[in-house]
Structure 1
Amino acid sequence: MDPLLLEVLACPAEDHAPLTFDDQAQTLTCTSCGRVFPVRDGLPVLLLDEVIQ
């Protein structure tokens, strides 16, 4: 994932915390609430309905 993109992405939940990227799992994890979002075909899916728990 592009580091510049990762800097501007934020959790869609109300706290809008930064996300960390797991290259092996192809997921983004919120640093505040712990929600895990999938990255499909290189595109982050930041929808609360798509959270992986």
Structure 2
Amino acid sequence: MPLIEAALLEILACPVCRSPLREDAEAQELVCTGEACGLAYPVQDGIPVLLADEARQTRTGG
């Protein structure tokens, strides 16, 4: 089951670098697809929390 509706995912973008986001259902988060960014944003109760302060870094040395 998707974290959020596909239509919503299509229009969402990383608030830091504006790259598209992809779902990581296992981790319950949306992950930035930007090569230099790599932030992951939590999805809480079906609502993506797209705040840079709430994001976690998925890559080291990014």
Q: Which of the pair has more CA radius of gyration?
A: 2
> Sequence identity of aligned pairs in percent?
54
Which runs of 5 or more structure 2 residues have no equivalent in the other structure? Answer: 58-62
**Alignment partners' CA distance in 2, 1:12 and 1:50:** 12
In the other structure, the counterpart of 2:43 is 39
TM-superposition CA deviations, 1:1-53 (whole Å, max 9, x none): 2100000000001x300000011211001001110100000000000000123
Which runs of 5 or more structure 1 residues have no equivalent in the other structure? Answer: none
TM-score (normalizing by structure 2) = 0.78
TM-score (normalizing by structure 1) = 0.90
**Alignment partners' CA distance in 1, 2:30 and 2:45:** 13
For these two proteins, the number of residue pairs brought into alignment is 52
Q: Runs ≥4 in structure 1, deviation > 6 angstroms?
A: none
Letter in 2 for 1:40: Q
